[in-house]
Structure 1
Amino acid sequence: MRVPGPAAALATAGLVVAVDQATKQLVATNIARGDQVGVIPGLDFTNTRNTGVAFGALEGGGVIVAVLIGVSLALLLGYFAANRERPWLWLPVGMLLGGALGNLADRAREGAVIDFIDPIAWPAFNVADSSIVLGVLVLLWVVEEGPRRRRST
């Protein structure tokens, strides 16, 4: 059976970037910076900017943030290149790559990431952030599933 590879990962990344950038554009167009719109109880859309990484960590980190992103992407792509025959690995790689590229597009354009999904008692985030978090979870599952599958055969 042929395992989907780089093309599937790139298609996934492209989808993530498209949805991320479209939702950020909708927010930037329809909600003034700093304003909130209630979506459902406990969840607002807030037009805000984040110069740090996930959940505002390393706020204003500039060069440090860029280096961390670059190193993380290099490690991810290196792991994918070395393990591309592993079933389903293309999915988390695409999710992580798409999330990183979506946020990098914001940094290049605005100098900060547009965050807007704002639940109570949690920092604001966006579609790219969600894709990164889910991508890490799927990656952990895919990496762990390999040893389990080998033990059971």
Structure 2
Amino acid sequence: MSAPARSTRARIGLAILTATIVGIVVAATGATEAALADGRSIDLALLHLRLTYNSGVAFSLGAGLPVGVVLTATVLIIAGVATYAWRSTPTTPMPGRIGLAAILAGALSNLLDRATDGVVTDYVHTGWFPTFNLADTLITLGAVVLILTALREPKGSSTG
């Protein structure tokens, strides 16, 4: 297979994986929100599912900002990450591609959630850490996978 064909295939794979994960996260968030809508909390031993809404970004930073500002900043950041992912995917090993897809899917899922009513639905509560959601978990795990992939990369090679 030619290099351009491999690049196209890798990029299409990234887009399909990202879209699939977004679909799963949106469905899971909707189901969780419906299950917890009456103020109910579900005890899962180390975690509790408890519905909260975050008008800010990570750790509620910027909660007082207008929704348009938060949405605009979020879109710009996602555009930067998506551009990096699109350009680097053809030369990124498979684990790194999965990490990129997880980051993009988490960010896009939170953006879609915020676009509907100006807040992000959070529902995973530990008791010792701010409440978060599946999309936030994907962003964090994707970043860890991407970092570990970069650390395993042989010296002198580049991811684009």
Which bracket does the TM-score occupy, shorter chain normalised? 0.7 to 0.9
CA RMSD of aligned residues (A): 2.4
Give the direction of change, closer, same or farther, for the CA distance of 1:49–1:140 in structure 2 (3 Å limit): same
The answer as to whether partners of 2:14 and 2:89 remain within 8 angstroms in 1 is no
TM-score, normalization by structure 2: 0.79
| DSSP 3-state at the match of 2:90 | coil
Indicate if the aligned counterparts of 1:38 and 1:44 stay in contact, CA closer than 8 A.
yes
Which residue of 105, 110, 114 maps to 2:117? 110
What residue in structure 1 maps to residue 147 of structure 2? 140
Match of 2:49, SS?
strand
Q: Is 2:61 aligned against 1:18?
A: no
State the percentage of identical aligned residues: 28
The 5 Å alignment of 1:92-111 reads 92-111=99-118
**Aligned letter for 2:48?**
D
Question: In structure 2, what is the Cα distance between the partners aligned to 1:75 and 1:131?
Answer: 18
Provide the residue aligned with 1:59 in structure 2: 63
Unaligned runs of 5+ in 1: none
Counterpart-to-counterpart distance in 2, 1:121 and 1:24:
22
* CA 85–69 in structure 1, closer or farther in 2 if over 3 Å, else same: same
> Corresponding residue for 1:45?
49
SS at match of 2:43: strand
Give the one of 129, 135, 140 matched to 2:136: 129
Sort the Cα spacing of 1:143 and 1:26 in 2 relative to 1 into closer, same or farther, 3 A: same
